[in-house]
Amino acid sequence: RRRGRPERILLIRPDHLGDVLLTTPAIRALRHALPTVELHALVGSWSAGVLAHFNEIDTVLTLPFPGFTRAPNETLTSAYTLAFDTARMLRRIGYSHAVILRPDHWWGALVAFLAGIPQRIGSTHPDVAPFLTDALPLPHEHVVLQSAHLLTPIHALSPLDLELKFSITDDDAAWARGFLGEQDRAPIAIHVGAGTAVKQWQLEKWAQVADALADQLETRVLLTGGEHEAPIAYQIAAQMQHTPIHAAGETTIGTLAALFARCQIVLGADSGPMHLAAAVGTPTVTLFGPADPLEFGTWGAAEQHPMLFSEIGCRPCRVLDWSGDDPAHHPCVREITVARVLEAARRALTA
C-alpha cells in the first residue's frame, strides 16, 4: 500500500441508464488523473452494460439494489439482509475508498459502513451522512459536476476534463449497418420511451414531428425504445403518413448507441437514451417535464442539444410518479408544441 495514495476505489451508483451514464465523465477524468488506482463500480445489472463500454473501470460488480429493481417482492428485511451479505463480500475484496454517487442513497452508504471501508464519501443528505467519513454539500448544478464534486476528497477534477463519450464496438457498429441497410440519407430517430407516464409527450404529436422531418430532410424515421415500449412505437407509426423503421425492443445498449451514431438527429422525452445519443456525438432535442434540466439536461454544446420545457409555474416539481394519475393533469410536457420541436430540430441540425 502506497502511503497517501488510494489503492482500490468503489463507486456505488444504483440507478438506471441515464444517471449511470452521466457519472462516466467524472470516472474517466479520475482514471486519467490516477492511472494506477484500481476502480470498481457497484451498479445494478440493468446498467452494467453501460459501464462495460468503459475501459477506465477495472471491475463492474452488479447487485439488485433495493428500490431500484422495479420488482414487487422487496421487503425491509430482505433489504437489510442483502446489505449485510454485500458488506461481507466488499470486505473480502478490500477497498480504501467508497464513493456514494447518488446523493440520497442511504442504503449504499450503509453497505460501505458495514464493509468497514476506511474513507466513505457522499453527500450531506441527512439519511446518508451518518454513515460517511466525508459528507459534502452538493451545489444545485448538473449531475456530471456533482459526481466530479463527490470525487474531490480523492482528487480535484477540472470541469474542462468532463467529457461524455460512449465507445461503440465493431460488432455493434456492424449490427447497426445491417439493421439499417443502404440509406441515401442518414435517418432521424425518435426515442418513444420516457420512463414514466408524466414524461410522455402525446403520441399524435410525435407522429406529426416524424412526418414533417421526414419530408423536410427527405429521409426515413427510426423509432427506438425498450421492448415494453414497442406498442407505443406502433401507435405512433399508425398515425404517420410515412412508414418508419421499427427498432423498439430490438436493441441492446451498445446496438442502440450504434444506431444513434448513424442518425442525423435523435428526438425524445427526457430519458437515458437521449444522453446515450449525445454521448455518441449525435445532435438531440429533448423534451423536459417534471425533471430539472439544470441537473439532468443533455451534457454537451447547448446549440447542438436544445432542451424544451413549458413555462408552467410548478415546473420542475421533480415528482416522476403520480401513482396512476391521468397525465392530462400534469401538462408540463404536453404543453410543448409541435412547432417548437421542429424549430429546435432545425437549430440542432444547423449547429
Q: Where are the alpha helices (DSSP H) in the chain?
A: 17-21, 24-33, 48-51, 76-93, 106-114, 143-150, 170-180, 203-217, 230-238, 253-261, 272-279, 293-296, 338-350
How far does Cα 140 stand from its chain's mean position?
Answer: 18
Cell numbers 478490500 correspond to 94
- 223: cell is 423509432
Among 44-48, 66-70, 305-309, the range scoring the smallest mean pLDDT is 66-70
Instruction: Quick: pLDDT tens for 221-248.
Output: 999 999 999 999 999 999 999 999 999 9
Instruction: Quick: pLDDT tens for 87-106.
Output: 999 999 999 999 999 999 99
Those residues whose C-beta lies under 8 Å from the C-beta of residue 268, and which sit 6 or more positions away, are 190, 191, 192, 193, 194, 274, 284, 285, 286, 287
Q: What percent of the chain has pLDDT over 70?
A: 96
What average pLDDT does the chain have? 93
Among 12-16, 275-279, 300-304, 328-332, the range scoring the smallest mean pLDDT is 328-332
Give the integer Cα–Cα distance in Å for 92 and 98: 14
- 238: cell is 399508425
Q: What local confidence, expressed as pLDDT, does residue 5 receive?
A: 46
Mean pLDDT over 29-38 rounds to 96
Among 108-122, 214-228, 308-322, the range scoring the smallest mean pLDDT is 308-322
- 303: cell is 446549440
How many Cβ atoms are within 10 Å of 37's Cβ, its own excluded? 19
